[in-house]
Structure 1
Amino acid sequence: MEQKDFFSQIKGSQSLSFQKPPYILASGNVVGKKEGEGPLGKEFDVICEDDKFGADNWEDAESTLQKDAVALALGKAGLEAKDIRYIFAGDLLGQNIATSFGLMDYEIPLFGLYGACSTAGESMALGAMCVAAGYAKNVLTLTSSHFASAEKQFRFPLEYANQRPLSATWTVTGSGAFVLSTTRSKARITGITTGKIVDYGVKDSMNMGAAMAPAACDVIYHHLLDFERKPEDYDKIITGDLGKVGKEILIKLLREKGIDIAEIHTDCGIEIFDCEEQGTQSGGSGCGCSAVTLSAHFLKQVEKGALKRILFVPTGALLSTVSFNEGQSVPGIAHAIVIEHA
């Protein structure tokens, strides 16, 4: 591709439109027992009845999630580890330990990422850029989260049995892996919009939806601006982890900008759980939430042609135990991925 062709892929201030869109060749997903009991239970590849996945502790369990999701994605794609040029992966744990311990046996060059719950979007965006630019024929993008390991790190040990407010979301136990490739398939990534850090000063770590909704609003607004599109140009706009509270805030913020997505918007955190029946308060969240919901549910609809074009917008809250305990606010970030039926 000539240099002028590369520059012609740049859209507006934050976006890229790929001239040679990478295909989503295959995906794999693994979830825990609670996720398997939810509305999407019949669609997941693997549901494990033991949330420790045969491991000795929660962190090793999350590593096992990643390992199994990669095996599923590779198997569906008909590929082996040696066929993958790079992995783009991350999780919620300190130093990305679920990723490093989960993937080291594959011996594939790794870019370790952290975008909190937006990591599914970040990894897919970077993987798509890599394939579209001709740097790799096949790459893997991967994320995971685990309810127990996240609670242990960010909130309270499970034994504490603390009360959860209605604004809280339930960290999804799950991992989703995607093979992005130059090989044709029924779905492809045609564009991306990279999000910015947005901070509205929210300090409530139990209200992630409120912290992340402004970032989702910002990236959706700039995506539509960069691509000169309207909401109706998409069959669905799918955020990652806002839950019921964040969804209401997002729709209100976009309406203030003259954009109404209410009719076509949904959120993976709302789709994956029955909030009333399963007691998940506002819904689901976590790195694995958007990844497994895309893999098990929405990607299949794109491949069938039931959805022609979707905007996939995983959302992340950029906090740590240190920043929270020091009284800092919770900034948010979101990334937008255009996925189309091929």
Structure 2
Amino acid sequence: MDTTVGAIFAQGERSIKVPVPVYIRASASVVGTKEGQGPFGDCFDVVGMDDKFGCDTWEEAESTLQKEALQIAIGKSGLKKDEIKYLFAGDLLGQSIASSFGLGSFQIPLVGMYGACSTCGLTMSMAAMLIAGGMAEHAACVTSSHFASAEKEFRFPLGYGNQRPLSATWTVTGSGAFILSGVKSEKDRAMIDGLTIGKIVDFGLKDSMNMGACMAPAAADTIYQHLADFDRKPSDYDKIITGDLGSVGQKALWDMMREKGMDISKVHMDCGMEIYDQSQDAHAGGSGCGCSAVTLSAYILKQMEEGKWKRVLFVPTGALLSKTSFNEGQSIPGIAHGVELVNCK
């Protein structure tokens, strides 16, 4: 058996150089009312007038977010639904019910994935590898979160009215959908050039109201590994963008990177810190699967299309906990997946 094929695409210790062009042909973002009032409000494709989106439950509303986002993204791509061979999707709810109930009507073969708030990076990485390997020409990636459904899943019922510490983040109500393609077109927003799959990093932290601190070690690990594997410096990127560390996690990330001999402070951006402004009382910032996904679709890819950014390292971050693990006193491990995006214009 020939065992050398994988080595052609392996980059350094843990990264992958995408061997053929994989393009982000189209994307869409659908968000709730709070997100629409934030700095990116004019950039989103749809801003809901009601966070239930006309549904009876918060969970149904989140499914609706995904359905609308994927419909819009397919429409923008110029492809027919049947041309999209695989759908990679996930969310924060138990058994990924937002994805299964939201996307079932599309009847596209589904690869359900869970990476907590890093799911956007995970789905895009897997889809890019599938396309680069010649197993499909087109694939879709979808993820979502909803403030109300996530609070029920991980913290407290909304009616409880608990106080939130300043280290807490606000789960974004939103869904981002992306159509990836191995065929170049005039519609392409960016190209995926490299991948660094994250590993579980656990510093033993147990504070679910300080997710930024729990995820920062994983972000530092992936960013450092990506730069080492591709023999690059932070300054080689216009932006290194994390998903939802928030203000607390950002400081921790910078400190950990400096300990590794790298200063990323001049190029670092965190989606959670950008999606809301100070007047919106989001405390440390935004979080959730939808945070990095809608920011990527509405803002990051827009900067790349316009030529303002040429090379970006997109690193969504996730906290791998559940109600069960938290209630049993387990720590909160983190994970982060790196997707290198380059301008394709």
2:244 is aligned with what amino acid? D
Look up the SS of the partner of 1:40 in the other structure. coil
| Equivalence for 2:248 | 245
Q: Is the 8 A contact 1:12 1:227 kept in 2?
A: yes
Instruction: Pick which of 115-124 and 177-186 moved more.
Output: 177-186
Tell me the equivalent position of 1:94: 94
For residue 261 of structure 1, what is the amino acid of its counterpart?
I
Deviation per residue, 1:250-298 (Å, 9 max, x gap): 0000000000000000100001001x20010000000000000000000
In structure 2, the partner of 1:145 is 145
2:216 maps to which residue?
213
1:268 lines up with 2:238 in the alignment: no
Q: What is the aligned partner in structure 2 of residue 7 from structure 1?
A: 7
Name 1:159's counterpart in structure 2: 159
Q: 1:231 aligns with which of 210, 234, 238?
A: 234
Cα deviation, residue 182, structure 1: 1.3
Cα distance between partner residues in 1 of 2:3 and 2:303: 36
Asked whether 1:122 is paired with 2:122, we answer yes
User: 1:21, 1:220 → 2: CA distance?
Assistant: 22
Which structure 2 segments of 5+ residues have no match?
Answer: none
Answer yes or no: is 1:194 the counterpart of 2:197.
yes
Residue in 1 aligned with 2:54?
54
Choose from 283, 296, 299 the match for 1:297: 299
3-state DSSP class of the match of 1:204? coil
- TM-score normalized by structure 2? 0.97
Amino acid at match of 2:37: E
SS at match of 1:262: coil
- Where 1:327 maps in the other structure, the secondary structure is coil
Determine the C-alpha separation between the residues in 2 that align with 1:131 and 1:304.
Answer: 26
Structure-1 residue corresponding to 2:308: 306
Q: Does 1:65 align with 2:65?
A: yes
The one-character-per-residue Cα deviations of 1:4-61 (angstroms, maximum 9, x if unpaired) are: 5653110112100012020000001100000000011011110001000111100000
Q: Is the 8 A contact 1:186 1:304 kept in 2?
A: no
1: CA distance between counterparts of 2:154 and 2:77? 36
Residue segments in structure 1 that go unaligned for 5+ positions in a row: none
| Aligned residue number for residue 331 of structure 2 | 329
Distance (whole Å) between structure 1 residues aligned to residue 226 and residue 42 of structure 2: 33
RMSD of Structure 2 on Structure 1 (CA): 1.1
**C-alpha distance in 2, partners of 1:132/1:234?**
23
**Structure 1 ranges of 4+ moved more than 4 A:** 2-6
Instruction: State the TM-score, normalized to the length of structure 1.
Output: 0.98
The count of corresponding residues between Structure 1 and Structure 2 is: 340
Larger displacement relative to structure 2 (205-214 or 10-19):
10-19
C-alpha distance in 2 between matches for 1:325 and 1:5:
45
Cα distance change on mapping 1:72 and 1:3 into 2, 3 Å: farther
Q: Which digits, 9 at most, give the CA deviation of each residue in 1:187-222, with x for residues without a partner?
A: 100000000000011100000000000000000011
Q: Which residue does the alignment assign to 2:135?
A: 135
Q: Which amino acid aligns with 1:302?
A: M
> For the residues of structure 1 that align with 2:116 and 2:141, how far apart are their CA atoms?
15
Q: Taking every aligned residue pair, what percent have the same amino acid on both sides?
A: 62
**Cα distance in 1 between the residues matched to 2:13 and 2:7:** 13
